Chain A
Amino acid sequence: MNALSLFRQVVENRFDPDAVDALASFGGRPVIGFLDTGFPEELAIAAGFHPMLLTGDPSSGTATVDPYLDLSVPSRVRHLTEAMVTGRHDSVDVLCVTGGDRWLANTHGFLEAYRQISATPDFGDVYYLERVRGTYREHRDYNLRLHREFRAYLEDRSGNVIDDGELAAAISLTNETRALLRDVAILRTGDDPRISGVDAHTITMASMLMPKKAFNAALRQFLASEVPTAPAVARDSTRVFLSGSSLDHQRLHEIVESLPAVVVGEDTEFGARYAETPINESIDPMEAIADRYTFKAPESWAFGIKRRIAMKVDAAVAARADVEVFLHLLNDTATGWDFPDQRRALQEQGIHVVALTDQDYAFDDAQAVSEKLAEFISHSSGEHNIMKKAEA
């Protein structure tokens, strides 16, 4: 099996850790599930866990959780909770919910309340790791304090004392993953992208599902052996940059690339940005981890609108995008406050922007979205374009 096929199979089997284990051995390590990229994987790796991203399933309904979740719950969180309460992730040993995004953090409360309603499935341990939303000195110090508490929990749970040498090794490992993923990003930004957006997204997702060592080896193989012989993808296609709500699946990439278009980059947390902000290996590892997770590119729920807009615009320009597709998922109340400034700055750079607002997580109306995007791409005039789901 070539490396790309491995990554695809891992992502397809993400609801079955045993199958992922068979594809890329966990080495008998217990699995700790996480929900977003604010989770400090390095601490889990150093404690002997296998950190694994948990996602919702866009192909499933949400009938089990709908009676318990308010109408205002964003659809990504709804699908994620559905996956949990229907046992998709019940072989995970520990589930860690991270703070910051108020809605994702609410998953912790949903599971606690759901436990009172149903004894099954057994989620195992659920750990809540708070994360404050700013970058003031006390915010970074508080994150460091919380990371230390989490480290103590992991040591207690695993029976392994984490020494700083193991933590430094885990940091090197994840930094290597990020460096390799940045090499993948470079393949997308050249004149003729050498890799599709769908494949790039698959590779990034696989990096959060597979043990890092095995992933790094497979990605090195992919870069060395598979890329040089692969044809350029989508020559002369419209170069699309994706922004807005974070998606932990690739349906939007698939919709875009079903058109004469290629996704050359994203500024969302499960896209190219996961590879950014390596951890400083020259200072105390706990301090370095606190720095990375406090100062990395701010998510839409975090403080730092000016910095965020600048980063997003720089990323779209660096990817040499022709157009940007800005996704706003229904009830994602954090995402969208940057949009007008982002759009204005991109238009000044000659990059046209379309917004898909109030979309559902599963893209049930993919055909309508596709038609609208096709229209936008073929008639992109630089004017303000917004397509509401209701009109799709």
Chain B
Amino acid sequence: MTGLKESPITEIKAAPAWKGARSKKRLASSAEATALNRAYTTRMWEDIANGESFVFGYGPMELFNAMDLYLVLPVQYGSVMAAKQLFEHYQGAIDERGYFRSLSNYESLPLGYCFQPDPEIAPYGGLPKPSAIVGGYMTEPAIYELYAREFGSPIYLMDDPHRQASIPPRWWEGPEWRNENLIDFNVREFEGCVRFLESVTGKPYSETRLREYLQRADEMAEYYWKITDLAYKSAGPAPYTATDAYTEVGIFETHFGHEWALDHVKGMYREVKEKVENREVAVEGERMRLLWAGTPLWFNLGFYNAWEESHGAIFVETMYLPRAQRMMQPDRRNALRAAYMRRHMKYTGPSQRSAAELIVAQSRDYRIDGVVLPARGATREASASSRFMAEALRREGIAVLLLDYSPFDNAAWDEDAMRAEVTEFIEQIEGSR
């Protein structure tokens, strides 16, 4: 038996899961990002409560932004649930329906709210009925179909085929290599999505407006690229660490193209540039740079600061801000095509080999001493690449730690054991010098 019937939800709530330490941020821009994101989120939920259209799902954010459509990502809402120690509560509601616990993830966690709609407990007062469900860049279509059914909302599926027979070495450089048929198919998917959204939300789509958003999005991407290069490629210790970068993710992942977001990123660039020029560093005596190459521990961001004082070891990330370099899409004549091109396959590329090549190059570029990889792998695109990445890194003489953790289940997190593994890893690198 699952055991859940023997463990009612009320009991689970009485024993809250372990909570992580607060993270350290060194940039004033990080505080600004938090404030901006909070203000946007507050306004968004107020508007939604007042009946404003919103999309629940995943897809091209620039398109939603250009159509004045709020987007609530299941993965984002699920991570807030987990951060508020509600993982067991909502996962318990899913389990009670008979779904297998081993299927659980951030993307599916909001289903718990569908099955147990309790506005008093849920983040932001719960989820009203979305105007539309969009399933794009998704792992399992069934999850989105269940959302559509439970909310009673119309759904548009956008499959995103990405694999192809061959990928050039250093695929992130050079001319476009993606198969033209594949691009055409995806653009047709976007066209269908636009018509669907116009129909169900009543919001108009303007190619000109999307082009303007994409132009600002590209500007933002260029600033993020410059920020990353300044921070990680400059000689000497870094001006910020992964915890500042993760704070910026709130802007990076959902607000590309907004004018206020562009202003914010310009400010962040000025701040980082100034810090580099003035040799203001995040951690005095930085002696080691570790790359966290998996989904962040959103419930425990303080984890990444834990070895700064003791070992002079900082964490940096490559999943978000450094990705900006690969997102720029200056040809915006067909705006939907550009919207597709700037996001598709930009995390790790479409294969295990492409992911391995990228992480080796990034580790070299950013002077990484050791890489921490998730032993269970990520969930999309070149999923299950960690061990091939590890193999490639070791061939290049870069130390690797494969850490077995669940990025969303804070109840399953063993802080002591995880810290011990990372400490041992750091000390091994120190010992090998």
Contacts and interface: CB of A to CB of B under 8 A. Distances in A.
Nearest to B142: A337
Contact of A136 (B157, B377, B386, B388): B157
Given A72-B384, A113-B351, A128 B98 contact: no
B318 to A, nearest CB: 18
Interface residues of B, number: 49
Interface stretch (A15-23, A295-303, A314-322): A295-303
Interface in B79-135: 97-100, 102-103, 105, 135
B19 interface: no
A286 interface: no
Interface string B152-172: 000001010101110000000
A293 to B, nearest CB: 14
A303 to B, nearest CB: 4
A136 B1 CA distance: 39
A344 B236 CA distance: 62
B163 A105 contact: yes
Contacts of B376: 70-72
A355 B100 contact: yes
Contact of A339 (B98, B164, B181, B383): B98
B163 A128 contact: yes
Contacts of A112: 351-353
A132 B55 CA distance: 23
Contact of A333 (B103, B161, B189, B351): B103
A273 interface: no
Contacts of B99: 336-337, 339-340
A188 to B, nearest CB: 28
A346 interface: no
Nearest to A142: B185
A340 B105 CA distance: 18
B161 A138 contact: no
Contacts of B375: 70-71
A37 interface: no
Contacts of A330: 102
B426 to A, nearest CB: 23
A358 B103 CA distance: 10
Contacts of B139: 102, 333
Contacts of B377: 70-73
Interface residues of A, number: 59
A161 B424 CA distance: 61
B146 A113 contact: no
Contacts of A110: 352, 384, 388
Contacts of A128: 163-165
Given A69-B387, A340-B98, A116 B353 contact: yes
A337 B352 CA distance: 27
B222 interface: no
A320 B20 CA distance: 53
Interface in A52-98: 67-73
B330 interface: no
Nearest to A112: B353
Contacts of B427: none
B192 A138 contact: yes
Contact of B142 (A113, A127, A305): A305
A333 to B, nearest CB: 6
Determine chain A's interface SS by DSSP, over half rule.
mixed
A161 to B, nearest CB: 22
A70 B387 contact: yes
Contacts of A175: none
B98 to A, nearest CB: 4
Contact of B388 (A113, A139, A142, A336): A113
B145 interface: yes
B387 A68 contact: yes
A300 B103 CA distance: 13
B140 interface: yes
Given A108-B163, A133-B141, A305 B383 contact: no
B246 to A, nearest CB: 22
B192 A109 contact: no
Contacts of A358: 100, 102
Given A116-B353, A340-B98, A384-B98, A134 B388 contact: no
Contacts of A355: 100
A374 interface: no
B387 A109 contact: no
A343 B353 contact: no
B161 A132 contact: yes
In this complex, the member of A139, A142, A388 whose beta carbon has the largest number of chain B beta carbons within 10 angstroms is A142
A235 interface: no
A160 B375 CA distance: 46
A338 interface: yes
Interface string A127-165: 110101110101100100110010000000000000000
B1 A334 contact: no
B388 A72 contact: no
Contact of A305 (B100, B145, B356): B145
Contacts of A38: none
A99 B163 contact: yes
A330 B352 CA distance: 22
B404 interface: yes
Nearest to A302: B141
B185 A102 contact: no
A337 B146 contact: yes
B219 to A, nearest CB: 32
Interface string B369-390: 0000011110000111111100
B140 A334 contact: yes
Contact of B352 (A109, A142, A328, A385): A109
Interface of A: 67-73, 99, 102-103, 105-106, 108-110, 112-113, 116-117, 127-128, 130, 132-134, 136, 138-139, 142, 145-146, 149, 300-306, 328, 330-331, 333-334, 336-340, 343, 355, 357-358, 384-388, 391
26 contacts: A70-B377, A70-B385, A73-B377, A73-B384, A105-B163, A106-B383, A109-B163, A109-B382, A110-B384, A112-B351, A113-B353, A128-B163, A130-B163, A130-B182, A136-B192, A146-B181, A300-B142, A305-B146, A331-B102, A333-B140, A337-B99, A338-B142, A339-B98, A339-B99, A357-B100, A385-B1
Give me the 6 closest cross-chain CB pairs, A-B, nearest first: A70-B377, A337-B142, A340-B98, A113-B352, A72-B376, A109-B351
Given A109-B352, A138-B185, 9 more contacts: A106-B352, A109-B351, A127-B165, A305-B145, A305-B149, A328-B100, A337-B142, A340-B97, A358-B100
